[in-house]
Structure 1
């Protein structure tokens, strides 16, 4: 990201709210390894990494539900809760073994931080696991707020997590935008009236151009140019 990339000469956007998986980091190798460990222990075949990629975006419980459903054993109730807890236990021991930053993520975060923008991670992954990943990649000084899937009463696509992040950052919602890669991200932004930028190469079953974001970029290397042309929008709540 170029340090002299153009950006509007206004305080907006004071804050940027980033999804984690598929936006800031490519975590699918470690997620796939964890869910496959659980599946194999239960007597099922391991899933392909590309298939697991399509299951990510609505939290670990939904991932477990989708993985077992794809293996021919739908889960619900106590069974789903137990397997979700097992998945979190396994995954928690290998959060950053093969996880890597997404293209442009580290330079974009550093550039935004230098310019004084306030940054938050807003992810459906549990907060403690998310903080460990953020810390591992030395993003904690730039991303001063981490909102996880268990931080609020609801998760994306409900917009409450975005409003909570704004409160924690000390900015008005109309001064923030969302950067994500999935339907859950963009739908949360749409529900709250936040402008959004969708990044290619993430975890979505829907073509990124059809998510409904205000702007689509190839990678976070293109974020500065996108911000320069994205008009401010006032959230609805």
Structure 2
């Protein structure tokens, strides 16, 4: 059935970006005060001179989608096809800009309440279930670990640092991705946003993660790829690394990321204290 057939995508996009979040009132924790550090002042990558000191880090809280693996292209494909089938935007496919601004990293009920406010809860739930099932069909044989992740996880384990995964994905999706990446046994707990009082961008999932690890925010870092996830981690008081797997650098800085990396190889460079000239090809600001 065609819905939203009278809306233009650009108009809807503009409107959605100004709608208040239903979870905004939860964000009462004071964010960490800092200056956002771009990936490479002058175009260089993050280095050990930029204030990321692993000597004080006792635990790492990882997002899953777009962080452990580059899953956004699959989510984009599935959402694009599902929305087009519903007649969204007069049946024209959404583009990647719309996906990044309005969908990536967000909780399904919040997304669908804004895209289809006239839908019943039953209709929205069925759409979400069908979409997630389509994602799992693709993810099981497609996903691979982010560059440097294997080495970074190994270093954390060798140095007895703790780790959990914190995600807005449904538990079935989270488990599917971890199985596909052969990472199911590598995390102490999997924190699911929908199983907390509020999902990201509220801080609740990260607060649950900190409590599970019995660490203070200053003793941990979070690694996130989406504005929603970064806002959640920062609201929980956790210094946050933004990974540039899909979003623009400026978007992640605005959300509150203290550091930006291309992938986990950049973190290994920091751990082994490589100077910028010893690192890989410099990344230009996007």
TM-score range, shorter chain: 0.7 to 0.9
Moved more, 132-141 or 99-108: 99-108
Q: Which residue of 2 aligns with 1:182?
A: 226
Distance (whole Å) between structure 1 residues aligned to residue 186 and residue 179 of structure 2: 10
Alignment match, 1:61? 109
Residues 1-237 of structure 1 mapped to structure 2, 5 A cutoff: 10=55, 12-43=56-87, 44-48=91-95, 51-54=98-101, 55-64=103-112, 69=115, 75-78=118-121, 79-203=123-247, 206-226=250-270
- Runs of 5+ unmatched residues, structure 2: 1-47, 274-286
**Which residue does the alignment assign to 1:233?**
none
Partner in structure 2 of residue 235 of structure 1: none
- Mapped to 2, the partners of 1:134 and 1:59 lie a distance apart of 19
**Would the aligned equivalents of 1:26 and 1:99 in 2 still touch at CA under 8 Å?**
yes
Name the SS for the 1:26 alignment partner.
coil
Unpaired runs of 5+ residues, structure 1, are 230-237
Query: How far has the Cα of 1:181 moved from its partner?
Result: 1.9
C-alpha displacement of 1:185: 2.1
Relative to structure 1, is the Cα distance of residues 137 and 94 closer, same or farther in structure 2, using a 3 angstrom cutoff?
same
Question: Is the 1:104–1:221 Cα contact (8 Å) retained in structure 2?
Answer: yes
Distance in 2 separating the partners of 1:136 and 1:204: 27
- Give the paired residue count: 219
> What is the CA-CA distance between 1:58 and the residue it aligns to?
0.9
Larger RCO (CA within 8 A; separation ≥ 6) = 2
More helix by share: 2
After superposing on structure 2, the runs of 4+ consecutive aligned residues of structure 1 that deviate more than 6 Å are: none
TM norm structure 1 = 0.76
Relative distance call for 1:204 and 1:128 in structure 2 (3 A) is farther
How far has the Cα of 1:23 moved from its partner? 1.6
CA distance in 2, matches of 1:31, 1:98: 12
Q: Give distance in 2, aligned partners of 1:9 and 1:122.
A: 20
Aligned-partner Cα distance in 2 for 1:57–1:205: 16
Cα distance in 1 for partners of 2:223, 2:135 equals 25
Q: Which moved more, 1:88-97 or 1:117-126?
A: 88-97
Secondary structure at 1:156 match in 2: coil
TM-score by length of 2: 0.65
Residue 9 of structure 1: CA displacement? 7.8
Q: CA–CA distance in 1 between the matches of 2:76 and 2:118?
A: 18
Q: In 2 relative to 1, CA 216–145 (structure 1 residues): closer, same or farther, beyond 3 Å?
A: same
Cα RMSD (Å): 3.1
Aligned-pair CA distance for 1:118: 1.0
Please report how far the alpha carbon of residue 104 of structure 1 lies from its aligned counterpart in structure 2 after TM superposition. 2.3
